[in-house]
Amino acid sequence: MMSLTDFLVVSAALFCIGLFMVVSKSNAIQILIGIELMLNAAILNLVAFGKYDRLNNGGQLFALFAIVLAAATTAVALAIILNVYRRYKTIDPNKVDKLRDE
């Protein structure tokens, strides 16, 4: 029997991996993947906490919504990355630093 804790541990691990990727990778696509991992950790939590729902399958439904939204944001993010590449000829976020205070 798998307890809630197991799910939460997996979710935490996923989140941490995602976070680490976001912070450490030097490729925008990889960062995006990290974000996806963190998002999925959150979705996993939703599904896991769905066990305690008063309404059946509420958590799963929310997870579906979140996945759809994540797909949408990823699409937008990919588009931004594409534009960044066009402009800077790189997608290394450490080199795209024109937003800083000069």
Partner 1 sequence: MNTSIPYQDISVAYYALAAVVMPLIAFFINVCLPGKTNKASGWVSTLAIFTSAVLSALVFSKIWGQQPLHIQQLWFTIGASKLYAGVLLNNLSVILLLLVSLIALPVHIYSTAYMSHDASYKRYFSYLSFFCFSMLALVVVDSMYLFYAFWELVGFSSYLLIGFWFTKDKAVYANKKAFIINRIGDIGLLVAIIILFTQFHTADIVQLFGDNGLVTQSFIKNGMWLAPASQLPAVYQYIACTGIMLAVAAKSAQFPLHTWLPDAMEGPTSVSALIHAATMVAAGVFLLGRVYPIFNTAELNALAIIGCFTAFMAATIALTQNDLKRILAYSTISQLGFMIMAMGIGAYASSLFHLVTHAFFKCLLFLVAGIVIHQMQHIKEENNLDIDPQNILYMGGLRKKLPFTFIAAVVASLALIGLPLTSGYLSKDGILIQAFEWSDSKEWYYRLIPIGAILASILTAFYIGRLIVKVFFGEFRLQKINPHIHIHCNDGGWQFKLPLLFLTICCLFPLFSWNPLVYEHAWIFSAFSGPGFLERVNIYHTIIPAGANLVNILVIYFAYSIYVKRNTFTFDQTGFFFRLSYHEWYIDRFYNAAIVKPILSLSNASSWFDKNIIDGFINLLKNIVLSISKITAGIDKYIIDGFLHLLTAIVQLIGNFARNFQSGKIQYYLFSMLAVILALFILKTLI
Name every residue whose Cβ is closer than 8 Å to that of residue 35 and which is 6 or more positions away in sequence: 18, 22, 77
Contact status: 83 vs partner 1 (CB under 8 A)? no
* Beta strand extents in the chain (DSSP E only): none
- In the complex, minimum distance from the CB of residue 101 to partner 1, in angstroms, rounded to a whole number: 4
Contact status: 31 vs partner 1 (CB under 8 A)? yes
Q: Which residues, numbered 3-22, are part of the site for partner 1 (CB under 8 A)?
A: 19, 22
Q: Which residues, numbered 38-57, are part of the site for partner 1 (CB under 8 A)?
A: none
Read off the DSSP letter of residue 27.
S
Q: CB-hemisphere CA count at 13 Å for 102?
A: 1
The residues binding partner 1 (CB under 8 A) are 19, 22-24, 31, 93-94, 96-101
